[in-house]
Structure 1
Amino acid sequence: MDNHRNLIVAIALSFLLLVGWNSAMDYFYPQPDAPAAGKVDTPTEQAATADDASQAEATQHTRTGGLVDPELRALEKADLKTALASADRLPIDGPRVAGSINLKGGVLDDVVLKDHMEGTGKDSQPVRLFSPNGTPAQQFAQFGWVGSNLKVPGPDTLWQADGKALTVTTPVTLSWDNGEGLVFRIRYAIDDNYMFTATQSVANTGANPVVLQPFGLVNRTSRTASQDLWIAHSGPIGVFGDAADYDVDYDDVDEAGRVTPEGRTSWAGFTDIYWLAALVPQDATAPETTFRALGDETYRADMIYQPETIAPGQAMTRTSRLYAGAKESVVLDSYEDAGLQKFGLAIDWGWFRWFEKPFLWLLRNIYELVGNFGIAIMILTLIVRGAMFPVAQKGFASMASMKAIQPKMKAIQEKHKDDKQLQQQKIMELYKTEKVNPVAGCLPMLLQIPVFFALYKVLVLGIEMRHREFLWIKDLAAPDPANLANALSLVGIQVPQFLMIVFGLGVLAVMLGFTMWLTFKLNPSAMDPMQQQIFNIMPWILMFVMAPFAAGLLLYWVTSNVLTLAQQKYLYSKHPQMRAMIEEEKAKKAAEAAAKAG
C-alpha cells in the first residue's frame, strides 16, 4: 500500500515539474534566437519569444539579444535607412567589420559583423552591433574632450576627414579647428579582427595654456540585450584591478544611477552572450570608469582620463582602443596574449574555465578535421568516455566486489545489530580484508557531473556553436526544431502555448529518454519495486526537462548514453557473476512482491 502511495506522489510531483518547467527555463536557461524578420517563423520560436500577459509592459529578451518587438524592428529598419543615407558618413571596410563613421560628431555608430549572420536563412543579414543614436537599437562609441570655458567638439560638430574610407591599410584622421587656437584630431585605425584604435590629439596654437580631459564612451540600449542568465552575464562588464566583474547588471545601474567600479581599468563596456563593445585605455594610465543610467532603457560606459595642461605651441595625445565584435575565444585570447589583461574573461566561463576552454579547443580542432560540429560533439563524447573508461571499469569492479560481500555484510549487521559502532568497525575491516572501496562505484558519475556542466557552458557560451548545422538541425546552440508543433505549423495548425511542453518535444529529447531508460534497465543496482518504478519514470521526465536545452547538448547526452550501454554490456561480459547476482536478486524481489500482493 505504501509503495502505491509513494508512486502516486512521485507521479504527481513529476507532473508539477513538467507544468512549471517552462517558467523556470525562461529564467535560467537559454532559448532559441529571435528571428531577424518581422515575424516569428515556428511555434518553437514563438514559445521562446511570446509575451505573457504579466510581462506585457516589460522588454522581452532572447538568448542572443536583439529587438523582439515587431514594431520596434520595423522602426529600426526605417530609422537606419534614413540615418545611413546621410552624406556625412565615412565608410568602414575591415576584414571582419563594415559600416561607417558619422562625421557629424565623429561617432562610430554603424558597425556590422561580416562573419556572423542574424539568422540561418539564405536572406539573412550580417549581425548589426552598432546603430545610430536615437534608433530603437542604438549602440555607438564616441571619443572627445571635456574642458572648462573651452569650445570643444560635441555631437553636432562636423569633422573633416583626410581619407575616403577606413580600412586596415588606410587609417583615417578626423580634424576640427575650434577657431580659438585649438585643433582637435581623432585618428581611427582598425586591425584584422574587431579592434579599433582611436588616437586623440589636441594642438594648442593659441597664446594661453588650456586644460583638457580626453574621454571615450559606449552608449547602448538594454532593449537589445541578451538574457542575463546565471551562467551567462549580460550587461556592464570589465576588468578592474585584477578581477573581471560580472556582478553589475542593468537593474543595478538603474537603481544606483551611477556605478564606479574600484580598481584600475584594464577594459570596460557592455556585453551580450555573443557580442562585446569594450573600451581599452592607454597603457600606464588610470582613467575613471563609470556606468550610468540615462533613462528610457539607455546606458553609458564612460572612460575619462585625468586633466592635462597643454601649453601654447604644445600638443597632447591619448590613444584608446575599442573592441566592437564577436566574443570569439581565440580572438579574445590573442589580445590577452598581446598584453590586454584578462580579455579572454569577456566570456563568462566561471569557475570551471580551466576545464571548459580545453573542451572548446578540442571541439574546434575536431571540427577542423571532420567539417561538422555535430560529428565533432559525438567524437568529443567518445574521447571523454574513453578517457573515463578505466575509472568506470574500476567502479564497476568495485560494485561487483560489493555485491560479492553482501552476505558477509548482512551477517555482521545481524550479529552486531545492538552495537552500531562495533558493527561499523567490523564492516570497515571487511572492506579492508576484501580490498573493496565502497565509494568507487560512485566515482564515474561524480566525474561525469563537471564534464557535463563544462560542456553545457561551452555549448551555451561558445559562439563557435552558433548556427552550426547537423542533419536536420540548423543551429546546435538552439533547441531541436524537429518537433510536432513545428510540423503542424507547416500545414497551418498552431499549437496552443500550454501544449508546447508536449508538442514541442524534439527528436533528440525522445532519443535521450529512450537511451536513458535502456541504461537504467542495465543498471547494476538491484532495487526494490518502488525504486524500480521511479527509475522507470525518471528518463521520461528528464526527456521533457531537457527538451528546451541546446540541441548540441542533447546530442552529447544521447551519444553518451549509447556509449554507456556499450560499456555496460562489455563490463557485464567481463564480470558475468555480477549479472547473475543481479538477476537472482531481481527474481527474489519480484517473488517477494508477488507474495505480498497475493
Structure 2
Amino acid sequence: MDKKSIIGIAVVALLFFGFAYFNTQEQKKYQEEMAAWQAYQDSVALATRPVVPAADSVALTAGGQDPEQAAEAARERRVAALGEYLAAARDGEEREFVVENDVMAVTFSTRGGQIRDVLLKDYTKYAPRGERNIPVSLMDPATARFDLSFFVKNGLNNVKVNTMEYVFTPSAVETTADGARAVRMRLPISETAALEYEYLIYDTKTPARDYLVDFDVRLVNMAAEMANQTSIGIDWSNTSYQNERGFKNENMYTTVAYRFPGESSIEELSMSDEERSKEITTSVNWVAFKQHYFSSVFIAPQNLSYADVGFTTAQPGSGYIKDFSARMTVPYTAQTTGYDFAFYFGPNEYSILKKVGDTDAGDGDLYLERLIPLGWGIFGWINRWCVIPVFDFLRNYIPSFGIIILILAVLVRLVISPLTYKSYVSMAKMRLIKPQVDELAKKYPKQEDAMKRQQATMELYKKAGINPMGGCIPMLIQMPILIAMFRFFPASIELRGQSFLWAGDLSSYDSVLNLPFSIPFYGDHVSLFALLMALSTFGYSYYSYQQTASSQPQMAGMKFMMLYLMPLMLLFWFNDYSSGLCYYYLLSNLLTIGQTLIIRRMVDDTKIQAIMQANAARKSNGKKSKFQQRYEELLRQQEAQQRAKRK
C-alpha cells in the first residue's frame, strides 16, 4: 500500500470518528432538551389540572394521595423543570395598565411584558354604518404577541424560556429626568439574574418623538444563567382592524415591509396576495406591519440577524384586514448585556416618518418615510421633492383641501404649459401640411413606391421644420407627473376625513348612490367624482381626436379606444379610489381643455404657415445633415432590396 492510500484511509477514518462523536453529542443534547420539555409539559398539565371539590377529597385520599400533597408534588415538579423563579412567574396573575401621552394610549400586559394595544387619539375609523366615531386601534388585543425565546440552565438541563408564558413583575410608572414615562417590568430567572424590559413613552408635543416608544431589553446578571446559544428569538404578531371604508382598496396598501441596513429603499411583500411569507437570511434594520394609513414598526438599530415575515388576508366583512407575523432573531454572546429596540406606532404621514429616528441607539436615518408608496424612480422624486413640499406649504395657510388640490392642479398645468404649447403647435403644423402630404400620396400611389413616398414625406417635414413625434413627446414627458399624482393622493393621510362639496372623505370614494347589487369590476356604489372625471376624459379625448384625426389618418383606427374605451375603463377603475384623486384628474382635464382653447386663440395658423415656408426656403439650399444622408441611404437600400425580391 502506497503512502497516498494510507493518508486517504486515515483522513476518512478521522472524518468518520469525528462525525460519530459530533452526532453523539447532538443526540445527548437533544435528549436533555426533550427531557426538560417533557418535565415542563408535565408541570403545565398539573398546574392546569381542575381543582377537586371538597366532596371528592375523601375518594382521592382513599386512592392513596392527599390533595395538598398532590399540589405540593406538582409545584416541586414545576420547580424542577423550570427553576424556582420561573415556576413562580409561570402561575402569576396577569394585569393590564395604560400609559398615555398626547397622541396615543398604550396598553401594557404583565404577561410577556408586552404591549397589548395602541390607541391613536387623533384618528377615528369607519363604523359599520359608515360614520367615523371609533378611535383607531392598531391591533386586536386578543391577537397581540411579542415573545422573546432563549435557553437558560437548570442543573444539567437547558430550559427554553418563552416570555409569553410568564408574568412579569411591574414597577410603578415613573417620570424620567427628560420627561419620559418609564414602564419597567422584570422576569426573575434566579436570585440575582433577571430579564428586564423598559419602555419609554415621551410627551414632547413633537409627533416624530411621541409616536416612538423606546424599548430596552436588559439581561441582568444573565451570562451565568444563559445556556450555550448564538441568538435570541423574537416572535411578533397581531391582527389589524379594517379602518377604512373600502376593504379592497385598504387591503391593497396593507402589507409587511422591512429595510436592509445601509439601504435608502425598502422591501415589501406583495400587497394583494391572500397569503404571503418570505424568509430573510440577511440582516434587517426594521420590520413594519404596514396598514394603509398607519403602521406598527419594530426597530432594531443593532440589526436583526434573521427574519421570517408574512401575512394572511382576512375575510371581507370580518372587521379585520390582515394577520401579521414576524419571527426574528438577534445575535447573542456571553458578553451581551442587552438590546436597544424601539417601536413606532402611528400614522403614515411623510412629515412625521421623515423625522423619526431612534437617536439613543444611533442608527441615523431610518427611511421610515419609504413606507408611504409614493412610487419608484422619477415618480417618487417628483412627489418627494416637488409635490409634498408644495402641498405642505399650502395646507399651512389654506384650511380647505379641495382648494389646495385646485391650486395644485393649476400649478402643475402652468409648469407643463410650455409642453402643451409645443404639442399644439406641432399638431397645427401637421394639420396645415396635410394637403401636401396627400399630394405625395397621389404622386406615389403604388405599394412598391412606398419607400419613395416615405422619403419624400420626411423631406417635406424636414423643410417645414416639423418633428412627426412633436405632438407625442410632450405628452410622454407629462406622464411622470400624472403617475406621480396617481401615487400621491391615495397615500396621503392628510386627506383622511377631509370633506369637500359632496365628498365626506377625500381619502375614500364619494358614494352618492348605493346600488342594491354589485357590478363586476365596478362595485355597489356610484362615485360622482369618478363619473365626472370619466366624462371630462371623454370630452378631452373627443376634442383631441377632432384636432388630430384630419392630419394623422392612423388616429382613425384608435377612435374607439380613445373616445369610448379609455373613459369607460377609467370609470370602472377609479370608482373605488380616493375621491381626492378623481377630483384632481377632473380638474386636470378641465384645465387642459381650457388651456388648449386659449393656445388655439393665441396661435395664428397664418403665422405658423409663414414660419413653415421660411424654414423650407432656408433649408432648401442648405447642406443635408449626416443623419439625413444616412437615413436616405438606408431608404435607398431598402428600396433596392424590395426591387430585387420582386424580380
Cα deviation, residue 92, structure 1: 1.9
Partner SS state of residue 504, structure 1: strand
Q: Does 206-215 or 319-328 show the bigger shift?
A: 206-215
Is 1:525 the counterpart of 2:548? The answer is yes
Alignment of 1:12-411 (within 5 A): 88-119=95-126, 124-132=133-141, 135=142, 138-143=143-148, 145-147=150-152, 149-150=158-159, 152=161, 154-164=163-173, 169-191=180-202, 192-204=209-221, 211=228, 213-221=231-239, 233-240=253-260, 242=263, 244-247=266-269, 259-283=278-302, 285-291=303-309, 299-309=324-334, 316-335=337-356, 339-351=364-376, 352-357=379-384, 358-411=386-439
TM-superposition CA deviations, 1:496-521 (whole Å, max 9, x none): 33499598333323432443344345
Question: Counterparts of 2:558 and 2:223 in 1: how far apart (Å)?
Answer: 88
Q: Aligned in 2, Cα 1:441/1:544: closer, same or farther, shift over 3 Å?
A: same
Q: Does 315-324 or 392-401 show the bigger shift?
A: 315-324
Question: Counterparts of 2:433 and 2:521 in 1: how far apart (Å)?
Answer: 50
Cα deviation, residue 219, structure 1: 0.7
AA of the residue aligned to 1:272? Q
Question: Counterparts of 2:393 and 2:196 in 1: how far apart (Å)?
Answer: 44
Cα deviation, residue 544, structure 1: 3.5
Find the counterpart in structure 2 of residue 413 from structure 1.
441
Alignment of 1:478-497 (within 5 A): 478-483=508-513, 485=514, 495-497=516-518
Question: Counterparts of 1:305 and 1:443 in 2: how far apart (Å)?
Answer: 52
Q: Aligned in 2, Cα 1:147/1:325: closer, same or farther, shift over 3 Å?
A: farther
5+ long unaligned stretches in structure 2: 1-92, 203-208, 315-321, 610-647
Question: Counterparts of 1:461 and 1:271 in 2: how far apart (Å)?
Answer: 12
Q: Aligned in 2, Cα 1:505/1:576: closer, same or farther, shift over 3 Å?
A: farther
Is 1:457 the counterpart of 2:487? The answer is yes
**What's the Cα RMSD here?**
3.8
Task: State TM-score, norm by structure 1.
Answer: 0.70
Cα deviation, residue 385, structure 1: 0.6
TM-superposition CA deviations, 1:564-585 (whole Å, max 9, x none): 221122122123539999xxxx
Question: Counterparts of 1:245 and 1:205 in 2: how far apart (Å)?
Answer: 35
AA of the residue aligned to 2:456? K
Question: Counterparts of 1:145 and 1:205 in 2: how far apart (Å)?
Answer: 11
Q: Does 504-513 or 401-410 show the bigger shift?
A: 504-513
Q: Aligned in 2, Cα 1:177/1:231: closer, same or farther, shift over 3 Å?
A: closer
Partner SS state of residue 130, structure 1: coil
Q: Aligned in 2, Cα 1:348/1:104: closer, same or farther, shift over 3 Å?
A: same
Question: Counterparts of 1:573 and 1:292 in 2: how far apart (Å)?
Answer: 58
Question: Counterparts of 2:249 and 2:525 in 1: how far apart (Å)?
Answer: 22
Cα deviation, residue 228, structure 1: 8.1
Q: Does 100-109 or 143-152 show the bigger shift?
A: 143-152
Find the counterpart in structure 1 of residue 41 from structure 2.
none
8 Å CA contact 1:511–1:558 kept in 2: the answer is yes
8 Å CA contact 2:125–2:243 kept in 1: the answer is no
AA of the residue aligned to 1:383? L
Question: Counterparts of 2:530 and 2:270 in 1: how far apart (Å)?
Answer: 35
Q: Aligned in 2, Cα 1:379/1:432: closer, same or farther, shift over 3 Å?
A: same
Selected match of 1:439 from 469, 473, 493: 469
Q: Aligned in 2, Cα 1:248/1:146: closer, same or farther, shift over 3 Å?
A: farther
8 Å CA contact 2:297–2:343 kept in 1: the answer is yes
AA of the residue aligned to 2:290? T
Question: Counterparts of 1:472 and 1:295 in 2: how far apart (Å)?
Answer: 32
Q: Aligned in 2, Cα 1:299/1:557: closer, same or farther, shift over 3 Å?
A: closer
Q: Aligned in 2, Cα 1:564/1:153: closer, same or farther, shift over 3 Å?
A: closer
AA of the residue aligned to 2:298? L
Partner SS state of residue 396, structure 2: helix
Alignment of 1:502-541 (within 5 A): 504-523=525-544, 524-526=547-549, 537=564, 541=568
Q: How many residues align?
A: 475
Q: Aligned in 2, Cα 1:262/1:342: closer, same or farther, shift over 3 Å?
A: farther
Q: Aligned in 2, Cα 1:228/1:308: closer, same or farther, shift over 3 Å?
A: farther
8 Å CA contact 1:144–1:214 kept in 2: the answer is yes
Question: Counterparts of 1:210 and 1:532 in 2: how far apart (Å)?
Answer: 75
Partner SS state of residue 448, structure 1: helix
Question: Counterparts of 1:510 and 1:292 in 2: how far apart (Å)?
Answer: 37
Partner SS state of residue 260, structure 1: strand
Question: Counterparts of 2:226 and 2:510 in 1: how far apart (Å)?
Answer: 65
Find the counterpart in structure 2 of residue 549 from structure 1.
577
TM-superposition CA deviations, 1:257-305 (whole Å, max 9, x none): xx4214321111322222222222133x553222268999855312322
Cα deviation, residue 153, structure 1: 6.3
8 Å CA contact 2:533–2:585 kept in 1: the answer is yes
Question: Counterparts of 1:292 and 1:533 in 2: how far apart (Å)?
Answer: 44
AA of the residue aligned to 1:218? W
Partner SS state of residue 472, structure 1: coil
8 Å CA contact 2:256–2:324 kept in 1: the answer is no
TM-superposition CA deviations, 1:234-259 (whole Å, max 9, x none): 332201353522245696976x7xx4
Q: Does 294-303 or 429-438 show the bigger shift?
A: 294-303
TM-superposition CA deviations, 1:131-159 (whole Å, max 9, x none): 32xx3xx2344556544625746224222
AA of the residue aligned to 1:380? L
TM-superposition CA deviations, 1:73-126 (whole Å, max 9, x none): xxxxxxxxxxxxx98123221232213110122011111112221139876122
Percent of aligned positions with the same letter in both sequences? 21
Question: Counterparts of 2:598 and 2:413 in 1: how far apart (Å)?
Answer: 14
AA of the residue aligned to 2:186? S
TM-superposition CA deviations, 1:163-212 (whole Å, max 9, x none): 23789622222123223541221111134332221111122289767557
Cα deviation, residue 347, structure 1: 2.3
Q: Aligned in 2, Cα 1:428/1:388: closer, same or farther, shift over 3 Å?
A: same
8 Å CA contact 1:217–1:279 kept in 2: the answer is no
8 Å CA contact 1:144–1:153 kept in 2: the answer is yes
Partner SS state of residue 378, structure 1: helix
Find the counterpart in structure 1 of residue 592 from structure 2.
564
Q: Does 466-475 or 210-219 show the bigger shift?
A: 210-219
